[in-house]
Amino acid sequence: MESGATRDLVILGSGPAGLTAAIYAGRAELHPLVLEGEPSSSSDQPGGQLMLTTDVENFPGFTHGVLGPELMVSMRAQAERFGAEILTERASRVDVDSVPIAVWIGDPAAPEPTLRTRTLIIATGARSLMLGLENEARLLGYGVSTCATCDGFFFRGKQIVVVGGGDSALEEALFLTKFGDSVTIVHRRKELRASKIMQDRAFTNEKITFRWDSVVTDVLGGDRVTGVRVRDVNTGEESELAADGVFVAIGHAPSTELFAGQLEMDKAGYLLTREGTRTNVPGVFACGDAQDHIYRQAVTAAGSGCMAAIDAERYLSSLTES
């Protein structure tokens, strides 16, 4: 890419937030450049998290659902149709205080940025923390999930395992009792980290049982999950637990490391926004899971991507008026 080129809008990320922003910005004739991330980077996923799943049944407009990757390929094509330029690259460094904003691709120590932009939309999403097991990755979307709101419905009348011991693990477990016959929470300690109120709800729910002091050492199954192998951390004894679904609920991490020390974020690293999608730096907007630790859905990410594009367009108009 030509060094020193100044764009009106650069969008970081090609999940539902980034691509929706690109569709809106493209139609507003801002000729957005989207850096979609690099497949070789462990933290990136061109197309975003939905590339890691199979059926998506809750994205409006698809009566019978749609495959996650199919939805993202369509969104990408739609953004390109309106003039978005999409590069399979990751931003390696960003300086949001320089005017125009500076973005590096490749060597972050390079003295000059790769490009400059008047506005920046951050749609770098988040990652679910995983156990790191080979079969967990292989069976993601085939019984392994990280999102009860997204996938609970597929487990009606089934046996479910939830891994974790914090508030979000209990929230997932309680939600899953609406669908599953049984929900077993596997937790590596004897006490939960979750709040007292969530613990009380879980302890009194008759569908929930606990496997204390235990870690999941393998996910079992050929084409679909059939169970997990569990090790007792005190005795070292291994046993198998039958299950149709395994929900890994050990946390999420927003992909916002690039902005540490530059943009306001909460303790967990989620970007703070106000008045729509504005960050604390004029011209820099944030949308999707990078700033949302509550809803974390494709449709909310897409909605906030739309808001970010409209906010960026209005900001650019205000620059030309003044």
Ligand X SMILES: Cc1cc2nc3c(=O)[nH]c(=O)nc-3n(C[C@H](O)[C@H](O)[C@H](O)COP(=O)(O)OP(=O)(O)OC[C@H]3O[C@@H](n4cnc5c(N)ncnc54)[C@H](O)[C@@H]3O)c2cc1C
Site residues for ligand X, window 124-163 (CB under 6 A)?
Answer: 124-126, 128, 140-141, 145-147, 150
Beta carbons of 280 and 264 less than 8 angstroms apart? yes
Q: What is the 3-state secondary structure (H, E, C) of 145-158?
A: ECCHHHHHHHHCCC
Q: Which of 95, 97, 107, 151 is catalytic?
A: 151
3-state SS, residue 260: coil
* Strand ranges inside 68-207, DSSP E: 85-87, 91-95, 101-105, 115-122, 126-128, 144-145, 159-163, 182-186
Between 54 and 199, name the residue whose CB sits nearer to ligand X: 54
Nearer to ligand X (CB atom), residue 131 or residue 301: 301
Q: Which of 150, 287, 289, 292 is catalytic?
A: 150
Is 287 one of the catalytic residues?
Answer: no
Confirm whether 150 is a catalytic residue: yes
| Interacting residue with ligand X among 35, 160, 174, 228 (CB under 6 A) | 35
Active-site residue 95, yes or no? no
298 binds ligand X (CB under 6 A): yes
Site for ligand X (CB under 6 A): which residue of 50, 192, 271, 307? 50
| Secondary structure E strands in the chain | 5-12, 33-35, 55-56, 66-67, 85-87, 91-95, 101-105, 115-122, 126-128, 144-145, 159-163, 182-186, 208-211, 214-220, 227-232, 238-242, 245-248, 252-254, 284-286
Q: Which residues are catalytic?
A: 147, 150-151
Site residues (vs ligand X, CB under 6 A): 12-18, 35-37, 43-50, 52-53, 56, 58-59, 90-91, 123-126, 128, 140-141, 145-147, 150, 255, 258, 288-290, 296-299, 301
